[in-house]
Amino acid sequence: MKTHRIALIPGDGIGQEVTPAACAVLDTVGKRHGYVLSYDTFDWSCARYLSEGAMMPGDGIDMLRHHDAIFLGAVGDPAVADHISLWGLLIPIRRRFDQYVNLRPIRVFDGVPSPLRAAGSDVDFVVVRENVEGEYSEIGGRMNRGLPSELAVQEAVFTRTGVSRIADYAFTLAQGRRKHVTSATKSNGIVHTMPFWDEVVAERAAAFDGVEWTQEHIDALCAKVVLDPARFDVIVASNLFGDILSDLAGAVAGSIGMAPAANLNPERDYPSMFEPVHGSAPDIAGQGVANPVGMIWTGAMMLEHLGHEEAATEIREAIARVFATTPLRTRDLGGTATTAQFTDAVLDSLG
């Protein structure tokens, strides 16, 4: 038996509900695929911030460093400003562990109608988001607070290293898929960083024979994701553009509650972190109705990263079978199934 040490951070809201659901699936599959996940649970959350004044302890990064992966449910609470929860936990982990790839697969499952009439099960693409620089920088500030002349400045940071490595990841991923990359840009309006992004992506594309690529302005790209999502294979984007695109794409797939994500350090110098896209959803927290698919699929991505590709595939196929062969749907998909009922159906589908 191979044992993997997992840092488990259920977080806030529905994270407390979908995390044990996903762990039950991961553990069940592990019994026949020769692995055991050993969980170290951390209470890092907005609840911790409200009681102790910090999302995580000062030595939190060091506490995570020697884990094989980080499995995070959700973070967020209406009583804590979003920039506090994000910069107090997620962004420090992403940056200290150089998790520069944010990977978000999008798929329309048979039996799950997309809000888009034309979107069918041929929709299957991946958003590759640059995860540690770009528009989400710490450079900037505010002046003249409270005065009519008050101003705020936020600097975007794009480096040749950062753009090159995310482009290389996207093109390499496309080589094993349908061999097409779409680069999100806005170089007609953002005159320094986006033309630089375009230049570096074009340079890296030249090294990948057989992979076609195009670039699309982000506003037109959003429209095309809505009008014809099946045309896309791999989309590579900056931190901000990738964040927006992947949430839009999650909605195309039926619900943002379905959307998984991974924060990857591809070189494996540091642990990678796996978290669904959906957030803490305080409006439904505690009701037992959250869709566990995003978290379960995120767990499958973690297994794949840990070298258990067959187990990951088995989980994805089990989810697909539940949607294709049963009427069970959680509230976000127009049904009445509870988190526990849907999770039990996935476990039954696994056999």
pTM (two decimals): 0.93
State residue 118's pLDDT score.
67
* CA pair distance 326, 320, nearest whole angstrom: 10
In tens digits, what is the pLDDT along the chain, a chain of 351 residues?
899 999 999 999 999 999 999 999 999 999 989 999 999 999 999 999 999 999 999 999 999 999 999 999 999 999 999 989 999 999 999 999 999 999 999 999 998 877 776 666 788 999 999 999 999 998 999 999 999 999 999 999 999 999 999 999 999 999 999 999 999 999 999 999 999 999 999 999 999 999 999 999 999 999 999 999 999 999 999 999 999 998 899 888 888 899 999 999 999 999 999 999 888 999 999 999 999 999 999 999 999 999 999 999 999 999 999 999 999 999 999 999 999 999 999 999 998
* CA pair distance 68, 64, nearest whole angstrom: 9
In the structure encoding, which two tokens stand for residue 50, read together?
Answer: 């409200």
Do the Cβ atoms of 306 and 4 come closer than 8 Å? yes
State residue 278's pLDDT score.
87
Domains of the chain: 1-99+259-351 (3.40.718.10), 113-252 (3.40.718.10)
How would DSSP label each residue in 225-266? HHH-GGG-SEEEE-HHHHHHHHHHHHHHTT-GGG---EEE-T
State residue 333's pLDDT score.
92
Do the Cβ atoms of 67 and 4 come closer than 8 Å? no
Q: Is 4 helix (H, G, I), strand (E, B) or coil?
A: strand
- The one-letter amino acid code at 180 reads H
Q: From the CB of residue 115, how many other CB atoms can be counted at a distance below 10 Å?
A: 11
In the structure encoding, which two tokens stand for residue 294, read together?
Answer: 């995003």
